[in-house]
Structures are given as C-alpha cells and as structure tokens.
Amino acid sequence: MAETPGSDEQWTQDDHVVAGDLARQAGALLLALQGEGLEGKPLGAEGDRRANALLMDLLGQHRPKDRVRSEEADRDEHLVDAHGRLWIIDPLDGTREYGEIRTDWAVHVALAVDGAPVVGAVALPGLDLVLTTGAPPPLPDLPATPRMVISRSRPPAFTDAVAGALGAELVPMGSAGAKISAVVRGEAEVYVHAGGQYEWDSCAPVAVALAAGLFASRIDGSPLRYAQQDPWLPDLIVCHPDLADDVLAAVRAAGVA
C-alpha cells in the first residue's frame, strides 16, 4: 500500500479507516434520529439531510483537498475529470426502508481513484455492522443452491429467467447497499441490476465486494467505472466469482445485456 496519496496508488490504509469511521458515525446519527418521533417519508427526508451534512462536514475536516460527489449535494462543481481522488457518498441508501424502521438500509462512503472503486465502507446500522475494504470478510463458500437478491418492491422483468437459468432462490430485499452486502456476507450469491442507478448507489458496496474477492461488473462484463461526468450507472452484476460466467451467460440469454 502506498504511504501517501499522490503516489502510484494514491490511497492509503488511513483512507479505509476514514471511510469506515464516517459510515459508522452517520449510521449512529440515523439510528438516533429514528427515536425522535418522525415516521415514513418525513423521517427519510430528515435522515438524508442530517447524514449528508455530517458526512460533508467530516470529509471537509479529514480530506479537505479531495472532491466529493454525494447523492444530496456535491462539494465541488468540477467533477467531470475521472482522474485523481473522488469521494462518492450516499448518506442514506434505502430511504423508504429507513422510514419504515426496517434493517435493509445503509450508509455508503467510497473513494474512487482514477475511476476505480478502491476504498469503501457500508454501514448497516440496523444490523450493527460496518463492512469495509480495510478488513473485508472472507469469501463465502458457494452453496448447492445459489440465492439471488432482488428488489422487494420492484423486481425486474428478467428476474425469473435469470434465476431459472441459475437454479437460484429469490431473496427480496431493500436498498442496493443491503443487497450487495448480502452477497458480501454470504447471505446470497447473486445480484443483478439493470433498472438504473447512480454512482453513489453502488460505489461503496462494490468496492467492498471486490476487496472480498467477489466478481463485479457491468451486465455486459465490462469493468465498473466511477467518477464519470454523468453519475448515472444503469446496470451491474455482483456475484460469487465461481458463478460469474453462468450469471453473464444467463443475463445474455435473457436479453438483458
């Protein structure tokens, strides 16, 4: 690992620590807010606002020279250059689930360097858990019957075709961070999304997934790139590496790619 930002790798172990600490602090704030009497959409909106303010303030303290891209508000106007360091944050991934006091919501803090998702932390406050690239969990064993996480409210049209080709069980779940984290944690083996997302929806969990040895790509198998001029990132696959070829083939056969 490089010793100082700006060297060949441009990130340090301290970046992993900062990402984890920030995600943890935002998660604690959001849990505390759930006890203040708000419910539903008002709770989600206030959670978004407060968590974003906290993360932007903390990044200003710890990484004042870095650019930041947030779902709620960018710190810098000049974010069109994919080179260098860019923090990509989602202060509250799964606003609906958070407002319903479920556990399948998350906080994302990631660092992309030259477009690559190299540092990430995903806080799952409802589970009292923070997943980080600094200490990723071991690669889970592959079960006989794979499990495929899907949206609990809007499962995509290709779900049955892909799951059928893989012989996979379906596991409905909330936020994108919760779904990818389920694959990281060995609670599922496949996540395929093609309905449209933004960079902040996946950068942190993808960074953790890659650090844990999982496979992650666009649905056509090309690498996931972040810090792009347009933050729209419409599709992705995260899965156990032993299933990567089968998942890509199933997606192609279903006419998704």
As a whole number, the mean pLDDT across the chain is 92
Residue 226 lies in a domain: yes
Q: SS3 breakdown of the chain: % helix, strand, coil, rounded to 5? A: 35, 20, 40
Residue 48 lies in a domain: yes
Q: Does residue 221 have a pLDDT over 90?
A: yes
Quick one: pLDDT at residue 154?
A: 78
Residues 35 and 128 in one domain: yes
Residue 179 belongs to domain with CATH number: 3.40.190.80
31, 43, 107 from 20: Cα distances, Å: 16, 24, 10
If one compares 24 and 229, the residue with the highest pLDDT of the two is 24
pTM of the full predicted structure? 0.93
Residue 121 belongs to domain with CATH number: 3.30.540.10
Quick one: pLDDT at residue 155?
A: 77
Residue 140 lies in a domain: no
**Where do we find the tokens 């596991």?**
171
Residues 75 and 153 in one domain: no
Contact 218, 196 (CB under 8 A): no
Residue 34 lies in a domain: yes
User: DSSP string covering 129-178, please?
Assistant: EEEESSSPPPPPPPPSS-EEEEESS---TTHHHHHHHHTPEEEEESSHHH
The closest alpha carbon to 242, from 139, 135, 159, 117, belongs to 139
Contacts of 21 (CB under 8 A, 6+ apart): none
Last residue of a domain, one of 132, 162, 197: 132
Q: Does residue 213 have a pLDDT over 50?
A: yes
If one compares 138 and 195, the residue with the highest pLDDT of the two is 138
Residues 167 and 244 in one domain: yes
Q: What is the pLDDT of residues 91-143, one digit of tens each?
A: 999 999 999 999 999 999 999 999 999 999 999 999 999 999 999 999 989 99
Residue 7 lies in a domain: no
Quick one: pLDDT at residue 1?
A: 29
- Find the domain containing 94 and state its range: 13-132
Residue 86 lies in a domain: yes
Q: Does residue 249 have a pLDDT over 60?
A: yes
Residue 139 lies in a domain: no
Residues 121 and 176 in one domain: no
| Count of domains for the chain | 2
Residue 136 has phi, psi (to 5 degrees) of -70, 150
Residue 8 lies in a domain: no
Q: What is the pLDDT of residues 16-56, one digit of tens each?
A: 999 999 999 999 999 999 999 999 999 999 999 999 999 99
